[in-house]
A and B are shown apart, each in its own frame.
Chain A
Amino acid sequence: MEQIIANGLYLGAQYALIALGLTLIFALMNVLNFAHGQMYVIGGFVTYTVYAQLGLPFVVGVAASGVTLAIIGALVQKFLFGPVIRKSVREESTMLLAAGLAFLLDAVVLLLFGEKQRGVPKIVNGIFNYNDYTIVMPYDKILVGVLAILAIAAFILYMQYSKTGRAMRALAQDKVAAQLMGVDVDRYSIIGFALGAMLAGVVGGLLVTVTGINLGMGGPTSIKAFMMVMIGGAGVISGAIAGGFILGMLESVGLTVLAAYGDITYLVIFASLMVFLAIRPQGLMGKPWG
């Protein structure tokens, strides 16, 4: 039982970080970023390149993942989503663009990093053993779990107390009023997209140490991210965090409890999610940005 909870917390912290990036982009620009999972994959490959290939410290690798994705996010908003949002009157336009971007990034990853599964050397050795095998967890998992929780805390503090964070919250709640306060919508949309993509990149960099990384992980990661956001409520910080931890916990419980029935964890999760959304379509904390 304790082991299941520990696994759930570890997974949930990573998932919450992914969902935060997705929900930030949605709240600011009403863009459903279908390419979020691909951004995560690029983050994984950047850390792989910096840490495993170039032999630089792991922290440098994760930082490089974050910076690379922030730049990609900023460029994507400035040259793709920004112009489309300005010109089009229909929201489907950005959805198609996001779907197209996902394919494009998949192709870029294939060209740059190939289709092989890649792993990295262990960042720390050893296994944590609590109370005679009640909880067993490798130290590297604990480390990336703690790093993810620190990143979540840093993100919340930044959104809550920095001037930029406040401006982004204002923009998400009332675009026109934010403009009247002097917020430059184009500039802050770019900052927001960069920040959201950066979070995806950081998680990619963290998780490559545990699960490795390969080209095919983009789509499933996007789907998980959307599930978390739907569980918690779109565009809400607390919702993304709740959704992340709930999905992490469900996955952890499912993999243990349902193991006897075969690989059906996600089948059960999808079915439950459909029932849940039918009852509460706005998610747990469904309201605009909070």
Chain B
Amino acid sequence: MYFEVKNINLNYDRVRAVRNVSISMEEGETIALIGANGAGKSSTLRAITGLKKLTEGEIWFDGTRLDHLPPDQIVRKGVAMVPEGRRVFPFMSVKDNLLMGAFTRSDKRAIAADLEGVLARFPRLKERYSQAAGTLSGGEQQMLVIGRALMAAPRLLLLDEPSLGIAPKLVQDIARSIVAINRDHGVSVILVEQNSRMALAISHRAYAFSTGEIAIEGISAELRTDPRIQKLYLGGEL
């Protein structure tokens, strides 16, 4: 298996946030982790990046065990994260933010080529190239952090709530670029979303979380019409 989360448990103080969660994916897949706020999907993502230590379980990526490594080492294994709430470096220029994304790399020519690629994918960033990132709109900042993660030339891209607080029109743009990143570069994607309609539309498979556990898993296209999903998230139609 290319990427595997094996039976993980996570605690915050003594409260269990994630219980016996297992996830697996093949290379080139996009999977979605959906569920309500506090269901444990973001915690699972934080565990993959090394920001949150596991209580039990293992995480494996392409033959390497990740769960004992610190965050900066996990990036070097090819796992890049787009954190929740965007978290741009607010007083740095768009350019410096993007260059920070390539922090672990030293191949100058490839970095320059990837920088061109990101600017071509998000032309707005080119317009704001030397502006401080903190002055960008929410949607532009989201593009910036996705571009920043791409600058690491990742093989596995993690996105934590990329649609949160973004204008509906821009959510579509961002969804399209996630599909394109997966398709064009063969980057595997794990997408955490409360917006399950969007997440199920652009992923191959999905795991639905409920109170720290995986309640339902399956092919995204099938889950979109699954009455259990609609019941689980009250959202009525997806």
Contacts and interface: CB of A to CB of B under 8 A. Distances in A.
Contacts of A117: none
B83 A170 contact: no
Contacts of B91: 169, 173, 287-290
A181 interface: yes
B103 A163 contact: yes
Given A179-B71, A179-B72, A180-B71, A173 B90 contact: yes
Contacts of A170: 89, 92, 100, 103
Interface string B68-93: 00111001100011010001111110
B90 A183 contact: no
Interface in A130-185: 163, 166-167, 169-170, 173-174, 176-185
Given A288-B91, A290-B91, A167 B83 contact: no
Contact of B89 (A177, A182, A185): A177
Given A166-B100, A167-B100, A177-B83, A182 B152 contact: yes
Contacts of A167: 100, 103
Contacts of B148: 181
B22 interface: no
B99 interface: yes
A173 B104 CA distance: 18
Contacts of B152: 181-182
Interface string B32-55: 000000000000000001010000
A68 to B, nearest CB: 30
A180 B92 contact: no
A167 B76 CA distance: 16
B147 interface: no
Contacts of A178: 89, 100
A176 B145 CA distance: 13
B115 to A, nearest CB: 14
Interface residues of B, number: 24
Interface string B107-134: 0000000000000000000000000000
B96 interface: yes
B210 to A, nearest CB: 27
A163 B51 CA distance: 23
Q: Interface centre among A176, A179, A289, by most B CB within 10 Å?
A: A179
Nearest to A290: B91
B110 to A, nearest CB: 15
B70 to A, nearest CB: 7
Interface string B216-235: 00000000000000000000
Contacts of B100: 166-167, 170, 178, 181
B139 interface: no
A174 B75 contact: no
A181 B83 contact: no
Contacts of B99: 166
A239 to B, nearest CB: 12
Contacts of A173: 89-92
Nearest to B86: A177
Contact of B87 (A169, A174, A288): A174
Given A166-B96, A169-B89, A180 B70 contact: no
A182 B51 contact: no
Nearest to B75: A182
Contacts of B104: 181-182
B208 to A, nearest CB: 26
Interface of B: 49, 51, 70-72, 75-76, 80-81, 83, 87-92, 96, 99-101, 103-104, 148, 152
19 contacts: A166-B92, A166-B99, A166-B100, A167-B103, A169-B89, A169-B96, A174-B87, A174-B88, A174-B90, A176-B83, A177-B87, A178-B89, A180-B49, A180-B51, A180-B81, A181-B100, A181-B104, A183-B72, A288-B91
